Amino acid sequence: MAGVAVDTTSENPAVRRLSDWSAARLRDLAGEYESPLYVVDLERVRENATRLREAFPDAAIDYAVKANARKPVLETLADEGLGAECASAGEVVRAHEAGFSTLRYTAVNPPARDLDRVTDLAAEREITITVGARDTLTRLADRGWTGRVYLRANPAVGAGHHEKVRTGGDPTFGIPADRVGEVATDAEEMGFDLVGLHAHAGSGILDDLGRHEALVERVSEIATELADHDLDAVSIGGGFGVPSHETEPPLDLPTLAETTREAFAVDARLGIEPGRYLVADAGVLLTRVNTVKPTPETTVVGVDAGMTALARPALYDAFHELRSLAGDASDRETVAATVAGPVCESTDTLARDRPLSAPERGDLLAIGNAGAYGYEMASTYNSRPRPAVCALDGDASWVCVRRETVSDLTRLDQ
């Protein structure tokens, strides 16, 4: 596929690298709010939304809330005019409270409690529900709700940065393509307002535009078979990638958009639902060095954030850039460092044998691309409270999620 050059020098570069963040500002924030600390820059979230809108001017863009559901992030994207794509009743409630004018709930094996909550809210405002199994229709009708639905098709095309995030070919997700037609007929006979079709290949598609093209073609074929149902919209899901290495080229968004337009052969509005692309490079995680231990193999750098703060390295072997924010970092020699959290499991390693400016106890480190699936996937394993989250907007900064405490954790015990 011919690549259109990506302009990385404009006011709104295709990616914000970890090296682009101001070390002095991040040091100040950690000084004020302590560590571990997630930082999310709302200006960058807006820039990402702008680039997406420019690349896909006619598409319905729904933000996949699961990537980052912090209140200021949701409010920012609602103000930008995006819709919300939600994975649970909790996300639906958050997106509703943040002011999104369109809400879609993608029900994957939906628990009864989620269906109750979402249909209650759908009695008050418009919510569209994406249904990935025939019996979800019955369960919704049993609750007296037969509103706007999308059908989720399994496109049998998977893509993404790791096998664990490729949903497209997995039978768990969506209705088998050859059954979508009969479920569409059932939906209408049951009185639902069938307005759309949806499919999602996976997450973190960066240079594999061929897979993306195959997905769009497949979804178009399935939509064509539903021509009699007069669909308003066809969503091709999310999955737009963000480079994790400093030197890796960014996603070529103009080419991706052009490929999508060419492969999208449907008489309905195109929908996209990116999560990561909007928020990944708008966030960093700050962590402080607790221990420096020279060993024959490597320098072990013990930090105050581990797999409970950032699960992605443990779960997907995800690579996150690391940067020392020590004032004299550039004067120090470089060592091979293994950066590990406080959990006694070898999965609690944020980086192995990574070149790092020789660390000292008390140094602050920044971990890049932490704006997507960072805080959202944090856990309290080891009874470790979750970090605080600080939002930035221009010169303003504030704690938008306070640091959890041990009392927060024990409060639920009875």
168 is a site residue for ligand LLP (CB under 6 A): no
| Minimum CB distance to ligand LLP smaller for 26 or for 278 | 278
Nearest to ligand LLP of 163, 228 (CB atom): 163
DSSP 309: T
Backbone angles phi, psi at 156, to 5 degrees: 60, 25
Nearer to ligand LLP (CB atom), residue 276 or residue 384:
276
Residue 29 or 183: the one with the smaller Cβ distance to ligand LLP is: 183
For ligand LLP, the closer of residues 240 and 375 by Cβ is 240
Q: Is 273 a residue that touches ligand LLP (CB under 6 A)?
A: yes
Size of interface with ligand LLP, in residues (CB under 6 A): 21
Q: Apex CA 126: angle with CA 177 and CA 43, to 5°?
A: 90
Question: What does the block give as tokens for 307?
Answer: 């797999």
Q: How far is residue 220's CA from residue 202's CA, in Å, rounded to a whole number?
A: 17
Q: Which of the stretches 23-31, 255-263, 272-280, 362-370 binds ligand LLP when contact is defined by CB under 6 A?
A: 272-280
Stretch that binds ligand LLP, among 38-46, 175-183, 184-192, 232-240 (CB under 6 A): 232-240
> What string of DSSP letters covers 120-159?
HHHTTS--EEEE-SHHHHHHHHHTT---EEEEEEE-S---
- Piece of 142-150, 273-281, 286-294, 360-368 that binds ligand LLP (CB under 6 A): 273-281
| β-bridge pairing 60-64 and 193-198 | unpaired
User: Cα–Cα distance between 138 and 115 in angstroms, integer?
Assistant: 11
Cβ atoms of residues 259 and 251 within 8 Å: no
Residue 95's H or E segment, with its range, is: helix 89-98
Residue 373 touching ligand LLP (CB under 6 A):
yes
Query: At its nearest, how many Å lie between ligand LLP and the CB of residue 7?
Result: 22
Site string for ligand LLP, 307-346 (x = CB under 6 A): -----x---x------------------------------
Q: Applying CB under 6 A, does 166 fall inside the site for ligand LLP?
A: no
In the complex, the smallest distance separating the C-beta of residue 176 from ligand LLP, rounded to whole angstroms, is 17
* Residue 38 found at the interface with ligand LLP (CB under 6 A): no
Name the one range near ligand LLP by CB under 6 A: 18-26, 39-47, 258-266, 268-276: 268-276
Strand 193-198 to strand 148-154: parallel, antiparallel, or no bridges (unpaired)? parallel
CB of 47 to ligand LLP, least distance (A): 17
- Under the binding rule (CB under 6 A), the answer on residue 47 touching ligand LLP is no
Residue 119 sits at the vertex; the CA angle it makes with 64 and 372, to the nearest 5 degrees, is: 15
Q: Which of 131, 133, 129 is nearest to 121 (CA)?
A: 129
Q: Decide: is 274 part of the binding site for ligand LLP (CB under 6 A).
A: yes
Question: Does position 215 bind ligand LLP by CB under 6 A?
Answer: no
Residue 371 binding ligand LLP, by CB under 6 A = no
- Least distance in angstroms from the C-beta of 128 to ligand LLP: 13
Among 26, 42, 59, 165, binds ligand LLP (CB under 6 A): 165
Give the residue among 92, 107, 96, 103 at the shortest CA–CA distance from 138: 107
The number of residues making up the chain comes to 414
Residues near 375 by Cβ (< 8 Å), separated by ≥ 6? 38, 68, 70, 386, 387, 389, 401
Count CA atoms within 13 Å of residue 333 on its CB side: 3
Residues annotated as catalytic are: 344
Question: Counting contacts by CB under 6 A, is residue 237 touching ligand LLP?
Answer: yes
- Residues lying near ligand LLP in the complex (CB under 6 A): 64, 67, 85, 106, 165, 167, 200, 203-204, 237-240, 273-277, 312, 316, 373
